[in-house]
């Protein structure tokens, strides 16, 4: 591989001037710039980012951690992040925590060793301590949290207003005439799922509906797969006419179970999900849902990071995106 040295030899210019050309320095004449560029072309020169990173302290690498990459929402966010950051000539390293604090730490440690310029992080369910993140921030490496954020005073983050989304979804069911609405809740370890639960409860309260713990189901994936739980619930409470599920996959699954049980959606029971995953508009019936703004979230998180990267001072700001109610056939 040709280096800056080879160009220097070929052109008779010093290392410094050659380097300046590739860094678009204004203090190099047009004539020599062309000479260098021509030589670079001839030698098929590729700058060595490792050397540049070592010397300058800037790696042009951004670390991204998500719980699972093959999750509709996260892959959507990453899609936007990658687009935005690669446009700004950054490379992105992606790691998965698989909901394990240990793996998350390992990834952060790797990021430090790799000298990343910034970090985008959606924390795992298990994460309770933020020492490593703090350490990064102390080293002036900007960190932007998205979707799943810790309770830290000083940090930047982009989240969805999950409470509001759940409130919207539940209110929508009520507006559509539902009297007995159940909620299929998510893992209570994940704070955004709790917020969805609160939104559901408050929407019911506001419209003077009864709130019953029996109507809030927190099921494991296996329990959910077993139709009998849902079946029994409907047998015991034939008046149930609305379901707010904390995720789209769950809502699709529930609709499937109801259809199997001969219960019609939306005629007898109206169902709304959360996420606005692609498939929701291709199902039968098409599923009403809350758009989670994955694209906007990725874009905004990337933009916030870029701003911190370009500005001298790291700015801390908390952005809250508003969810959007998508009304389709299932309600």
Interacting residues with DNA (CB under 7 A): 1, 3-5, 12-17, 19-20, 22-23, 26-29, 31-32, 45-48, 51-52, 54-56
Nearer to its own copies, 59 or 156 (CB): 59
* DSSP assignment of 108-158: HHHHHHTT-SEEEE---TT----HHHHHHHHTT--EEEESS----SS-EEE
Supply the minimum distance, in Å, between the C-beta of residue 208 and its own copies. 34
Closest CB 146 distance from its own copies, rounded Å: 15
Q: DSSP letters of 217-237?
A: EE--HHHHHSTHHHHHHHHH-
The site partner of 152 among its own copies, DNA, none (C-beta below 5 to 8 Å per kind) is none
CA distances to 33, 52, 84, 315 from 58, in Å: 24, 8, 19, 19
CB of 278 to DNA, least distance (A): 42
Q: Collect contacts of 13-16 with beta carbons under 8 A, ≥24 apart.
A: none
234 within 8 A of 263, measured Cβ to Cβ? yes
Among 105, 141, 109, which Cα is nearest to 123's? 105
**Cβ contact 240:212 at 8 Å:** no
Q: Contact 77/297 with Cβ under 8 angstroms?
A: yes
Q: Produce one character per residue of 70-88: b if its CB has 16 or more CB atoms within 10 Å, e if not.
A: ebbbbebbbebbbebbeee
- Binding site partner of 120, from its own copies, DNA, none, Cβ cut-off 5-8 A by kind: none
Cβ nearer to DNA, comparing 14 with 322: 14
In this complex, which beta carbon is closest to DNA, that of residue 30 or of residue 213? 30
The first and second tokens of residue 325, run together, are 């109610």
Q: Which is nearer to its own copies, 64 or 321 (CB)?
A: 64
Q: How far is the CB of 23 from DNA (least distance, A)?
A: 5
Q: Which is nearer to DNA, 12 or 262 (CB)?
A: 12
Residue 26 CB, shortest distance to DNA, in Å, is: 6
Residue 28 vs 306, nearer CB to DNA: 28
Phi, psi of 39 (to 5 degrees): -65, -40
Q: Give residues in contact with its own copies (CB under 8 A).
A: 1, 46-51, 53-54, 59, 61, 68-72, 75-76, 78-79, 82-83, 86, 91-96, 98, 106-107, 109-110, 112-115, 139, 249, 252-253, 255-256, 259-260, 278-279, 282-284, 286
CB 115 → DNA: shortest distance, Å?
9
Residue 23 or 212 having the CB closest to its own copies: 23
Tell me the closest approach of the beta carbon of residue 193 to its own copies, in angstroms. Answer: 19
Looking at the Cβ atoms of 116 and 168, the one nearer to its own copies is 116
- Nearest-angstrom CA–CA distance, 256 and 136: 46
Find which of its own copies, DNA, none residue 249 binds, CB within 5 to 8 Å per kind: its own copies
Residue 123 binds which entry of its own copies, DNA, none, CB below 5-8 Å type-dependent: none
Q: Are 303 and 144 in contact (CB under 8 A)?
A: no
Q: What is the closest distance, in whole angstroms, from the C-beta atom of residue 176 to its own copies in the complex?
A: 21
């Amino acid at each position: 591989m040709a280096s800056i040295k080879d160009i220097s030899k070929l052109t008779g210019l010093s290392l410094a001037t050659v380097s300046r050309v590739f860094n678009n320095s204004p203090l190099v004449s047009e004539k020599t710039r062309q000479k260098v560029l021509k030589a670079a072309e001839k030698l098929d020169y590729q700058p060595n980012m490792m050397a540049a990173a070592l010397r300058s302290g800037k790696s042009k690498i951004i670390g991204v951690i998500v719980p699972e990459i093959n999750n509709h929402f996260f892959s959507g966010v990453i899609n936007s992040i990658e687009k935005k950051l690669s446009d700004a000539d950054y490379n992105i390293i992606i790691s998965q925590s698989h909901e394990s604090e240990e793996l998350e730490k390992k990834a952060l440690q790797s990021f430090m060793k790799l000298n990343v310029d910034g970090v985008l992080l959606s924390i795992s369910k298990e994460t309770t301590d933020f020492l490593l993140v703090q350490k990064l921030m102390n080293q002036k490496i900007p960190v932007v949290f998205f979707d799943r954020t810790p309770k830290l005073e000083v940090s930047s983050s982009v989240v969805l207003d999950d409470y509001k989304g759940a409130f919207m979804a539940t209110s929508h069911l009520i507006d559509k005439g539902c009297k007995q609405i159940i909620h299929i809740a998510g893992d209570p370890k994940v704070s955004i799922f709790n917020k969805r639960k609160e939104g559901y409860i408050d929407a019911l309260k506001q419209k003077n509906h009864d709130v019953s713990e029996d109507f809030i189901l927190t099921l494991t994936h296996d329990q959910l797969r077993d139709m009998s739980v849902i079946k029994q619930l409907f047998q015991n409470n034939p008046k149930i006419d609305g379901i707010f599920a904390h995720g789209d996959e769950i809502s699709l699954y529930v609709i499937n179970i109801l259809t199997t049980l001969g219960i019609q959606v939306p005629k007898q029971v109206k169902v709304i999900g959360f996420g606005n995953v692609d498939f929701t508009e291709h199902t039968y019936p098409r599923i009403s849902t809350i758009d989670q703004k994955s694209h906007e979230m990725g874009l905004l998180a990337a933009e916030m990071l870029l701003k911190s990267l370009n500005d001298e001072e790291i700015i801390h700001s908390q952005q809250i995106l508003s969810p959007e109610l998508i009304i389709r056939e299932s309600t």
